[in-house]
Amino acid sequence: MSETTDQPVARPSAVHHVRLTVTDIARSKAFYGRLLGVEPAIDFSDQADDPEARSDPQRFFAGCTFPVGDQLLGLRPVAPAGDRFDSTRVGLDHVGLAVGSVDDLHAAAQRLEDAGVEHGEVMEMPQIGMAILSVQDPDDINLELMTPLG
């Protein structure tokens, strides 16, 4: 049996993880811990000042990883201080995180408000059957909390 160029190399069933490059691991770890309501499942962020740890995959590059349902969201502290995310460059545009309902989006907006975190409004988009709430992380990476309408 020969392979053809139109057959996929693999058939993934889900996104396993996303890792974001951050400028300040302590600040980002605190932000994502508050946003997600969980502690990291894997955490080597206390080694962020160790150059060996920052290049060691066994120590998750001195970063940390949060559980998000069956997936993982990781943070890697390698961006230089003062660097800012740009969604118009090649790479990541935003990260969408699923929540259970529109009520959950409104509750999240209130918790963000109470914590002093700037965020957008809950936006219902009936034409695509979704509702979203946008928030920027400390490095200006856009996150969208989203849920189906109805």
Q: What is the pLDDT of residues 87-99, one digit of tens each?
A: 888 888 999 999 9
Average pLDDT value for residue range 47-63? 93
Average pLDDT value for residue range 93-120? 92
pLDDT at 1: 47
pLDDT at 4: 53
Q: Residue 148 pLDDT > 50, yes or no?
A: yes
Compute the half-sphere exposure of residue 130: CA atoms within 13 Å on the CB side of its CA.
12
Tell me the C-alpha distance between 96 and 134, whole Å: 9
Amino acid code (one letter) for 144: E
In 37-89, which ranges are continuous DSSP H helix?
Answer: 51-54
Q: Residue 8 pLDDT > 70, yes or no?
A: yes
Q: How many helices (H) and strands (E) does the chain have?
A: 3, 8
Tell me the C-alpha distance between 14 and 140, whole Å: 26
Enumerate residues 6+ apart whose C-beta is below 8 A from 9: none
Average pLDDT value for residue range 99-123? 92
Domains, the chain, ordered by start: 15-80 (3.30.720), 94-150 (3.10.180.10)
Instruction: Confirm if 121 and 108 have CB atoms less than 8 A apart.
Output: no
End-to-end Cα distance, the chain: 47
Predicted TM-score of the model (pTM): 0.84
Question: For the CA atoms of 110, 45, 48, 28, what is the dihedral angle to 10 degrees?
Answer: -10
The pLDDT > 90 percentage for the chain reads: 73
Q: How confident is the model at residue 46 (pLDDT cuts 50, 70, 90)?
A: very high
Considering the chain, what is the average pLDDT of its residues?
90
Tell me the C-alpha distance between 51 and 89, whole Å: 27
